[in-house]
Structure 1
Amino acid sequence: MNSIAHSRRNPIERYQDYRAQRFAKHERTWSKSLPGWRTRSRRRMLVVGLALTFAFMLAVSVLCAFGVQWAPLLWLPASVVFFPLWIMLQIVSGRRGDAPGAVLDEFELAQRDSARSIGLTVTQNLMMIPIAYLIVGAVITEGTNESMAYAGGLMALVMLLVGGCTPAMVLGWTRPDPEPED
């Protein structure tokens, strides 16, 4: 593309092109990584592992709500488990949950958009839990309980992580095994 045509495009179009190029570069880099984990059954194991990690994180936030002093320390092992699982799922699912539209075909685009819609719905609904907890807790304690505020923040973080990971989890769970290569 010549520089005159490039300069006439708006910043959003240029950014979308940049995202597509960057995505394609990363896809080339990671496309052969973790070949044994690209099957549907293995991806489902990663999804279940993430779900269990989120349940553990939620349990940690509830322990914090009850004022258990050592409970925040449990967040560290949860994070140590979360990050590798999440990165692995992103790699083996080809990051289709957050891929730019320009690199997807029509079917993949429809799948991605459906998974994102589910993720948004999950996020909106789950966020009602920490919101209700914080509102009711603030009224009951007159806003003076630090454990409640910390626990509410952890709950909100868990719900945002769940919602943000949902598209990749849905696609990782539902997509068929990759076609065998020659």
Structure 2
Amino acid sequence: MTALRERFSASWERRLEAQDRRERVRARQLHRWRTRRHRRRFAALVLAGNLLTIAAALVAHRQIPWVFAALWIGGLVVWMAGFTLLRVLSGRMSTAFSELLDEREREWRHRANYAGYQAFCALVLVGFSYLMVIADTADAAYRGAMMLAALMVVGLSVPTWVLAWSLPDDDLEDFIEPGTGEESDV
């Protein structure tokens, strides 16, 4: 049993080190965009993608499948672009293991996750209400599943959205390469 624990512990340490390396590389990317103004623009982009997927779920039952497909795929592409950029711009708070974060970063992330949990609960209630309204219609299960999928995407993006909206601007001095006194080009 001890050998198994040692292997698990070594594997965990390797994962922490790999994640820390990835986060250090990501922390140097897009440093001039790490302002509240830029993050809020991308938060609006995420919201637009969310609204497109909800619109797609609302028209899922129509007999025009290309409208649904265009809205759904377009919404997911817009959402994914904004969401990915927000995760980079909000720093490692949204992706790193708790062990790699300092107390301030952990506190910000816990606040955002709690807001996300509350929003997710509210969205589940919205989804159930929608299901109750459409229960007696044709394709109610399909329409409900599409709406729940769209609301799940919204709920999953709330913590990153909250972090992006509320974080203060990063200090540009943090992006100066050690020993050179110059900003990194990444």
> With structure 1 as the length reference, what TM-score do the two structures score?
0.81
Is residue 61 of structure 2 the alignment partner of residue 69 of structure 1? Answer: no
Distance 1:133 1:20 in 2: 42
Q: Which residue of 2 aligns with 1:158?
A: 150
| Equivalent runs, 1:1-182 vs 2, <5 Å | 7-8=4-5, 17=13, 19-65=15-61, 67-70=62-65, 71-73=67-69, 74-138=71-135, 140-141=136-137, 145-146=138-139, 148-181=140-173, 182=176
Q: What is the percentage of aligned positions where both structures have the same residue?
A: 27
Tell me how many residue pairs correspond in the alignment.
171
The answer (yes or no) to whether the contact 1:40–1:177 under 8 Å persists in 2 is yes
Distance 2:155 2:56 in 1: 18
Letter in 2 for 1:97: S
Stretches of structure 1 lacking an aligned partner (at least 5 in a row): none
Partner SS for 1:127: helix
Letter in 2 for 1:40: R
Cα 1:153–1:10 shift into 2, 3 Å: farther
The answer (yes or no) to whether the contact 1:16–1:100 under 8 Å persists in 2 is no
Letter in 1 for 2:160: A
Bigger drift between 83-92 and 29-38 goes to 29-38
Partner SS for 2:93: coil
